[in-house]
Chain A
C-alpha cells in the first residue's frame, strides 16, 4: 500500500481512531476528586472518550494516573515543517575528496564538553577514530585534524584553544540540561567568540541528547545535533557549510 495519505491521526488499532495514552502525577492524595481532576486535565488537553485505566496513590499527598483517550487532531502531511533538515549524507571518500580538492585545506576541529558537564561519550562518538554505530569518527578522516579537549572545559579555554589551534570548526557537547544548565554555557561561549572577533572564522556546532536545535541557533550556533547523531552526519554538514562559506 504505497498510496499517499495526506491527513494523519494517532493510530491505536484502527486507522484514524486517534488513540492516545497519557500518564502523569498530581500533587493530591488519591480520591474521587483527584480522579476527576485527572480526567479534566485530559479533557482540557483535548482528548475525547477519556478512560482512566489506573489511578494509584503515591504517598505523601501525591497520586499517579494512566489514561486513554482519543484525539480529533489531524496533521496535514504536506504541511509538516521541519526544524531539522534531513540533508543527504556524503560518504567518507567524498568528504575527504571535497576537503582536499575543493576546499583545499585540512580542517581543524576543536571539540569539548563545556561547563561542569563531565559526559564525554557523546562527543567521543563523533570525534574518536573508533566512531559510533559502525561509522568511523572524524579522527579517522585524513582531512580532519581533531583536537579533543575532553570534558568539564570552561568556555574561555575553548576560546583559547580555538585561537591557538586556528580552528575551523568548534564542536561542543552538552548533556546535563537540568534547569537549563547548558543554555548558560552555550550562550556564554558564543558571546565570547563574538567578543574576541573570531566567531565569523568558525563553524560553531553543538550537540547532545536534549539540545533543542531551535534554541541553539537562537543563542548563536550554526547547527545543533541531537540523539543518535552519526559522525557522517556531522562531517557532511561541516563540508557543506565550509564550502558554502568559502564561496
Chain B
C-alpha cells in the first residue's frame, strides 16, 4: 500500500538532517553535564542517599562542583579517591554524603594509574550490565513472540503499588508494553528521587526502586502468560542521562527519549539537553534499548493539518541525532500522531496517508503511533469510536508500536476499565484488519499521493532552512511549533561544563566496550 514519493527527495531530507545533527555533535562533544556525570556514578554501582535524602551521586557531584573540580569529571575523582584510600566506590560515596570525605583535598595520584583504574571499573560495570541484558533477552526469547503492532498502554495513578496492579491487569488483558507516566514535576528536578514512592501528580515518580518493583511484576505476568511484556518509562527532563543509566541497570525495554521535547515544552536549556540526550542515546544504544520520540507533542497546540510537516522534520532530526549517538535504526522508534479535527472532511483518509508516509520514510524504525487526544471531550462514546478508527489506521499502515487512546482522555488518567475497553478494541482491530495493507492500494494520482508529495516538499523546505540557520538558531526563531528558546536560556545551563584535561569517560571507548563484550561472552 505504498505512496508514490520520490526517494531522491527522501535521501535529500536525510542528508540535510545529518548535517544539522553533525553540527550539534561538533559543538557538544567537548562538553559534559552534571547529569551525565551522575549517570556515570550510577553505572559503576553507586546508589542510595544520605541522611538528608540527597542522592549520593548528587552529593558527590555537588562536592566537586563546589571545589571547582567538576571539569575533571566524576570518574577521575572516584578513581583518584580509590587509589588514595583503598575504599570501594559505594563506601566513598557514602562518606561524601555524610560529609566526612573531601575528594579534592586528597593527593592527586599518577595520571596513568587513574586512567587504568577508570578503565577497569568501567569494564567491570559493563560486564555486569551486558550479563543482565543477556539474561533478559534470553527470557524474552523463551516466551512466545508478540504480534505486531505492539499495544502500548499507560498507567498513571501516582502510587507505584496501584500502578503495579493496573499494569498487571493490562498485561493480562493483552497489552504488550506498559508505561508508567511520570509525576508532572519530575522533569524539572535536578536529581532522581530515591526509593519506593506513592505520591505523584498525574503520574508516579521514576526511581530505581519503582523500576525494580514494576519490572518484577511485569516479569511475573510475562512468565505466567507466556508473552514478554515490555516496561517503558520517560528518559527526559534534567535527569535524562541518569534515567538512561537507571533504565539500563533495571532492565527497561523502551524509553521515551526526545531531543527537543524538554527544550520546547519544559524550557530546559538546549545545550544541556543536547549533551544529555547524546549520552543517553549512546548508553541506550549500547544495550540495544528502544527509544521512542515525542513528535506527537509538536502538534498539540498548532494547526495539526496545516503544520503537520513539523512532525516529519523533527523525526528526521531525531533519527540523525540518535544515529550520531551510535543507535541503530531498528531501535529508534520515531513518534507521530495525527491529532486531526474530526470535523475535517476525510480526516480518516488524511490520517491514513500521514501514518503510511511515516512508515515509508522510516522503514526500519519501530515507529510509534500516538492516538487522538486534542479533540476528545467528555463524550466517552464518541472518543471510543475515534480510537477505533485510529486503531484501524495503525494496523492498516503497519505501525510497530501503538499507544492506545482512552475513551476518557479528556477526563482523567485512565481507569482500569478504560484501558480494558481500549485494549479490547485494539485487539479486535489487530485481528480483523491485519492483512488490509497488503490488499489495498492508494490511487497513484489520488488525494493521498498529492498530500504525501506536498508534505515531503514542505519537510524538505523546512530542513533546508534549519540546516542553513543551524538547530540552535532555529530553536530561537520559533521553527518548532512557534516556541522560541535561547541558547543560554532555560533550565539547567549551569550544569553544563567543558571537559578538562584529566577528564575520563571510558564508557565511550570502543576498546573497553569490545573487551567487556568479549568478557561477557566468555562467562
Are B173 and A59 in touch, CB under 8 angstroms?
yes
Mask of B162-201 contacts with A, CB within 8 angstroms, 1/0 = 0001001101110000000000110010000000000111
Are A58 and B417 in touch, CB under 8 angstroms?
yes
Mask of A9-30 contacts with B, CB within 8 angstroms, 1/0 = 0000000000000011100000
**Size bracket, chain B contacts:** 20 to 34
Report Cα–Cα, A61/B415, bound state, in Å.
15
Interfacial residues of chain A within 109-133, with CB under 8 A of chain B in the complex: 116-118, 120-121, 124
Whole-angstrom distance from the CB of B407 to the nearest CB of chain A? Answer: 11
A176 within 8 A of B: yes
- Name which of B168, B185, B417 has the most chain A CB atoms within 10 A of its CB: B417
A209 within 8 A of B: yes
Q: Which residues of A contact B413 (CB under 8 A)?
A: 178
B73 within 8 A of A: no
Are A60 and B168 in touch, CB under 8 angstroms?
yes
B451 within 8 A of A: no
- Name which of B172, B173, B416 has the most chain A CB atoms within 10 A of its CB: B416
Whole-angstrom distance from the CB of B484 to the nearest CB of chain A? Answer: 12
Q: Which residues of A contact B410 (CB under 8 A)?
A: 209
**Pick from A116, A120, A209, A227: contact of B188, CB under 8 Å:** A116
Q: Which residues of B contact A58 (CB under 8 A)?
A: 169, 172-173, 416-417, 420
Mask of B408-419 contacts with A, CB within 8 angstroms, 1/0 = 001111011100
Whole-angstrom distance from the CB of B214 to the nearest CB of chain A? Answer: 14
Q: Which residues of B contact A7 (CB under 8 A)?
A: none
Q: Which residues of B contact A178 (CB under 8 A)?
A: 156, 158, 201-202, 412-413
Are A116 and B201 in touch, CB under 8 angstroms?
yes
Report Cα–Cα, A118/B173, bound state, in Å.
32
Are B169 and A59 in touch, CB under 8 angstroms?
yes
Are B301 and A121 in touch, CB under 8 angstroms?
yes
Interface of B is mostly: loop
Are A181 and B201 in touch, CB under 8 angstroms?
yes
**Pick from A23, A64, A181: contact of B202, CB under 8 Å:** A181
B86 within 8 A of A: no
A72 within 8 A of B: no
Report Cα–Cα, A181/B156, bound state, in Å.
14
Contacts A23-B417, A25-B417, A60-B172 given; does A176 touch B201 at CB 8 Å: yes
Whole-angstrom distance from the CB of A213 to the nearest CB of chain B? Answer: 17
A56 within 8 A of B: yes
A4 within 8 A of B: no
Whole-angstrom distance from the CB of B185 to the nearest CB of chain A? Answer: 4
Please name the residue on chain B nearest to A60 by beta carbon: B169
Report Cα–Cα, A210/B202, bound state, in Å.
14
Are B201 and A25 in touch, CB under 8 angstroms?
no
Report Cα–Cα, A58/B265, bound state, in Å.
36
Q: Which residues of B contact A210 (CB under 8 A)?
A: 411
Are A179 and B420 in touch, CB under 8 angstroms?
no
Please name the residue on chain A nearest to B412 by beta carbon: A178
Whole-angstrom distance from the CB of B205 to the nearest CB of chain A? Answer: 13
Mask of A45-82 contacts with B, CB within 8 angstroms, 1/0 = 00000000000101111101000000000000000000
Contacts A116-B185, A120-B301 given; does A64 touch B417 at CB 8 Å: yes
Residues of B within 8 A of A (CB): 156, 158, 165, 168-169, 171-173, 184-185, 188, 199-202, 265-267, 300-301, 377-378, 410-413, 415-417, 420
**Other than the known A59-B169, A60-B169, A152-B188, what 10 A-B pairs have Cβ atoms closer than 8 Å?**
A24-B417, A25-B416, A58-B416, A59-B168, A64-B420, A178-B156, A178-B201, A179-B201, A210-B411, A227-B377
A-B pairs with lowest CB-CB distance, top 7:
A59-B172, A60-B169, A116-B185, A181-B201, A60-B168, A116-B184, A64-B417
Interchain residue pairs with CB less than 8 A apart (14): A23-B417, A56-B420, A58-B417, A60-B165, A60-B169, A61-B165, A116-B185, A116-B188, A117-B184, A118-B184, A118-B265, A152-B267, A176-B201, A181-B202
